[in-house]
Structure 1
Amino acid sequence: MKKSLKQLVLLATSTLLLTGCSLFSSEEDVVTMSELPAFEATYQPKIAWQQSIGNGVDKYYSQLQPTADDEAVYVASRDGKVKAFSVKGGKLLWSNDFSDHESNKLNRSARFSGGIHLAVDTLYIGTENAQVLAIDKSNGELIWLVKVSGEVIASPVYSNGLVVVHTSRGELIALDSENGEQEWTLNNKQPNLTLRGSATPSISQGGIIYGRADGFVAAALLESGQPLWQLPVARPYGATELDRIVDADMKPVIRNGIIYVLAYNGNLVAIDLLKGQQLWERKYSGYSDIALSGSSLYLTDYRGYLYAVDRTSGEEIWANKQLAYRNVTGVTVANEYIVVGDGEGYLHWVDRDTGEFVAQQELDSDGIYMQPFEARQYLYLQTRSGDLVAIEKPSINK
């Protein structure tokens, strides 16, 4: 009974955060999605090509996102299809279906969920079935598949021969990139109630930095998993477990030895990488990835408000609140603009300097759930219904 109740609350929490709807029936507790912003467009985005990936992610929570190099873009569907398309023209280069792999016989499907990570000549991807796969990027053939101790919702990361995954149980697990053998595990205690998600780690200067469900950002040695430091960026408060959710679920951004991280019911914080000391903090609450370009950080909060913040001081540059409760994604930089998707399937283009809208595209009526992946020439966007869209980037680069 206790387990069932917990699952129900977790589901309700995810519904609240992903749809912007209230858990309560009283009128004052219900939030309303903002109308689509109306403005005079000053930029016309161009779609270079579009291809189908598979059945999409339906209504499931997912962190699936494409990755790319100069020759190809690689993408996966939740049900187990992995495909590579040529950057020029979107021609299908290869396709492989892992849904029938013997390891999935007792599962509903492959349930890919952690976005693809590309390292040298190999693709790494995680699943809700607690698996990690290594796939040859040249032909889509499976190199190895291993079982781990929890769902891999976040994208794996690679450095110096190690593939590191952050599981839904809060563990960091390092695998040998050649054969998938486990090298070390770092356990972290999980709160009773968390958001449906895990933070993708970042690797820098021999350390791995990651956000935790207890509101801490922590660092460990990549080689051994030995903890280095931990720092709270959100502290639980409130009368209920729901009030006390403090996940730091976004991928830490690192520039010049400084870490930038955002937490739900917490803060936007700048941290010295080597010392683990806080440099500044500002009161923002969110769970989506932030972007850094030039001297500015760009982020969306849990309400869908969009902000630009000075990365050296944390001072707010501008705020745009016109996308409130539209289930806005994290932010991607596209040269002089930034872009965010929303739950109704629109991609919004915003001037980096002013926060004003310059364009919008309706791409998928089923919705956009993750921000586009930025490559040299295109933004690659994966939609909820299973389309891969290559969008040309503006030519000017600030």
Structure 2
Amino acid sequence: MIKWVKNVTVIATSAVLLSGCSVFSSDEDVVVMAELPVFEATYKPQIAWSTSIGDGVDKYYSQLQPAVDDDAVYVAARDGEVAAFSIKKGKELWSIDLSDHNSNEFNRSARISGGIGLDFDTLYVGTENAQVFAIDKEKGEIKWVSEVNGEVIAQPVYDSGLVVIHTSRGDLIALDGDTGEQRWALPNAQPRLTLRSSATPSIAQGGVIYGRADGYVSAALLETGQPLWQLPAARAYGATELDRIADADMKPVIVNGTVYALAYNGNLVAIDLLKGEQLWAKPYSGYNDISVAGRDIYLTDYRGYVFSINRSNGEQNWSNKQLAYRNLTGVTIANDFIVVGDAEGYLHWIDRETGQFVAQQELDSDGLYIEPVATSTHLYLQTRSGDLIAIEKPILNVE
């Protein structure tokens, strides 16, 4: 059975796990996970240090990802632990368990599911218990807790004194960064059947840009929540509700006034940020975050294919289909390479120019579920079982 793919949620009724197994009681796989690629490695990644954070996210769906600044790496586990580690050696600086907070007295655990968001001096994490916590990043002390209307399973995003939350109900909510008080809310209607996730918003030029479960990419004014524009990246079609799932379920990337976004059962689109006009659209379907570097976009689609695409016109540079149905993460840029993780715990290193494999690391047999966070010198990766691993980035080839 193929594991660790996104859930599908039937609003107010039940949840179905999308996997390689048939939903009609057959034990045979509909799709087959590709065998681990075999090749001659031309690069050897080096692990700088590793540590752990509780039990990680275990078997649950999660979008938890480390946050990094010049001093520390901040990481959270689903059961409630949040910790900071020194960026150079991985030494624990502080830790706190949000399950011990009185707001979680009657909950099974903190069930942290969204984060970590980071501003100058504060961390923001969201929970399936419909809470947002603000934590002092130096002391590890809770500043405030706010209840919101819906699970917070996307990363909170901070800008200009506001913390923007995209809930599982589809609502976009802005909280005051100092107090946690709600400043505005923008409701969005949800389809009956959606992927079990919410798109992390992006903020640029005074606007909040976000993907919606109905396949639209939308923009709202950061200060007030007033809608600015919306554009479909996917349109629902098909004979069944499952066929008609059309989430724009990844964090939009904004470069030089252009928004790039990807939708499940839809397209990769380029949109003019200020006008909300489509510049081009290409038929790619996926739900993981994409990356942009130089002139190119890098993405993984729902099948586990990896693509390099020219961001000026959407034309494909190359594709790599050797990781099919290995339930890949999104893509992280590592100088001349890109990296993607898979559900068996391997991190795959691919040449940005050719699409060929250059290295492979087995990091966690329980699997990788989120792409690494990159700094100028390292990649920081959180594994499903809770390992936090710092990997040295290769030296940039400047020839």
**Which TM-score band applies after superposition, normalised by the shorter structure?**
over 0.9
TM-score (norm 1): 0.96
* Residues 22 and 28, structure 2, Cα contact 8 Å, conserved in 1: no
Residues 355 and 9 (structure 1 numbering): CA distance in 2 closer, same or farther, change over 3 Å?
A: farther
Letter paired with 2:258: I
> What residue in structure 1 maps to residue 390 of structure 2?
390
> What residue in structure 2 maps to residue 48 of structure 1?
48
Letter paired with 1:127: T
How many Å apart are 1:29 and its aligned residue? 6.7
* Residues 11 and 192, structure 2, Cα contact 8 Å, conserved in 1: no
Equivalent residues in 2 for 1:52-71 (5 A)? 52-71=52-71
CA displacement, residues 304-354 of structure 1 (integer Å, 9 cap, x when unaligned):
000000000000000000000001000000000000000000000000000
How many Å apart are 1:97 and its aligned residue? 1.1
Please tell me whether residue 11 in structure 1 is matched to residue 31 in structure 2: no
> What residue in structure 2 maps to residue 182 of structure 1?
182
> What residue in structure 2 maps to residue 238 of structure 1?
238
Please tell me whether residue 136 in structure 1 is matched to residue 140 in structure 2: no
Structure 2: state its 5+ residue gaps: 1-8
- Structure 1 CA distance for aligned equivalents of residues 304 and 388 of structure 2: 24
In structure 1, the residue corresponding to 2:15 is in which secondary structure?
helix
Please tell me whether residue 38 in structure 1 is matched to residue 38 in structure 2: yes
> What residue in structure 2 maps to residue 155 of structure 1?
155
Equivalent residues in 2 for 1:164-203 (5 A)? 164-203=164-203
- Structure 2 CA distance for aligned equivalents of residues 284 and 298 of structure 1: 12
Letter paired with 2:386: G
Letter paired with 2:293: S
How many Å apart are 1:377 and its aligned residue? 1.7
Cα RMSD for the two superposed structures: 1.5
Letter paired with 1:79: D
- Structure 1 CA distance for aligned equivalents of residues 110 and 103 of structure 2: 9
Residues 250 and 397 (structure 1 numbering): CA distance in 2 closer, same or farther, change over 3 Å?
A: farther
Residues 200 and 397 (structure 1 numbering): CA distance in 2 closer, same or farther, change over 3 Å?
A: farther
* Residues 70 and 376, structure 1, Cα contact 8 Å, conserved in 2: no
CA displacement, residues 136-174 of structure 1 (integer Å, 9 cap, x when unaligned):
000110000110000000000011100000000000000
> What residue in structure 2 maps to residue 119 of structure 1?
119
In structure 1, the residue corresponding to 2:299 is in which secondary structure?
strand
- Structure 1 CA distance for aligned equivalents of residues 392 and 242 of structure 2: 41
> What residue in structure 1 maps to residue 283 of structure 2?
283
- Structure 2 CA distance for aligned equivalents of residues 329 and 89 of structure 1: 26
> What residue in structure 2 maps to residue 359 of structure 1?
359
How many Å apart are 1:106 and its aligned residue? 1.7
Residues 216 and 6 (structure 1 numbering): CA distance in 2 closer, same or farther, change over 3 Å?
A: closer
Please tell me whether residue 251 in structure 1 is matched to residue 260 in structure 2: no
> What residue in structure 2 maps to residue 223 of structure 1?
223
CA displacement, residues 2-47 of structure 1 (integer Å, 9 cap, x when unaligned):
xxx94798532xx22xx43332456997100000000000000000
Letter paired with 1:102: N
Question: How many positions carry a matched residue from both structures?
Answer: 390
* Residues 20 and 327, structure 1, Cα contact 8 Å, conserved in 2: no
Say which structure is richer in helix. 1
- Structure 2 CA distance for aligned equivalents of residues 30 and 8 of structure 1: 28
> What residue in structure 1 maps to residue 376 of structure 2?
376
* Residues 10 and 195, structure 1, Cα contact 8 Å, conserved in 2: no
- Structure 2 CA distance for aligned equivalents of residues 146 and 257 of structure 1: 33
* Residues 170 and 213, structure 1, Cα contact 8 Å, conserved in 2: yes
How many Å apart are 1:302 and its aligned residue? 0.3
- Structure 2 CA distance for aligned equivalents of residues 59 and 281 of structure 1: 35
- Structure 1 CA distance for aligned equivalents of residues 262 and 273 of structure 2: 15
> What residue in structure 1 maps to residue 3 of structure 2?
none
* Residues 288 and 301, structure 1, Cα contact 8 Å, conserved in 2: yes
Please tell me whether residue 206 in structure 1 is matched to residue 210 in structure 2: no
CA displacement, residues 173-201 of structure 1 (integer Å, 9 cap, x when unaligned):
00000000000000000000000000000
- Structure 2 CA distance for aligned equivalents of residues 305 and 197 of structure 1: 21
Indicate the larger mover: 332-341 or 101-110.
101-110
- Structure 1 CA distance for aligned equivalents of residues 27 and 231 of structure 2: 38
